[in-house]
Amino acid sequence: MDTHTYPVTRTDAEWRARLTPEQYAVMRGHGTERPGSCALLYEKRAGTFSCVGCDQPLFESKLKFESGTGWPSFNDPVPGSVENTVDRSYGMVRTECHCARCGSHLGHVFDDGPPPTGLRYCINGVALKFEPAA
């Protein structure tokens, strides 16, 4: 069980009131949205992708790329915004990424991305909201 405390905490009832059922299943239940199901996969404008759970800026659109996986993919998060843990579910070992401010599950990070980082942050679009640049 995760005993880490985060700057933003909410009761289960508060999370359920704030999030849609799909967002809750992904962000609090460590679920995964259906690939290709989120409109943010196709978002190409300049701006910032933030956590739906706490409004923390997570990824800049200039680091978003098309990975062909069906989920929004990024090279690198905003510094200090994302934390990683080992995910041993489904008989695999993966690196889970979650919001550093509220602990919500975002997706996973893989080492098969393009330069310059070689990383692919594969993020559930329902965990993100997009704010276009001014």
Known catalytic residues are 122
- CATH number, domain of 106, equals 2.170.150.20
Q: Mind listing the pLDDT tens digit for each residue in 41-54?
A: 999 999 999 999 99
The CA distances from residue 122 to 53, 57, 60, 63, 70, in Å, are: 18, 16, 14, 12, 9
Report the number of distinct structural domains present in the chain.
1
Report the chain's mean pLDDT, rounded to a whole number.
Answer: 94
Q: Provide the pLDDT for residue 89.
A: 82
Q: Mind listing the pLDDT tens digit for each residue in 51-85?
A: 999 999 999 999 999 999 999 999 999 999 999 99
What's the pLDDT band for 2 if we cut at 50, 70, 90? low
Range of the domain at 26: 10-130
For the entire predicted model, the pTM comes to: 0.93
Tell me whether residue 71 is in a domain.
yes
Tell me whether residue 21 is in a domain.
yes
What's the pLDDT band for 92 if we cut at 50, 70, 90? confident
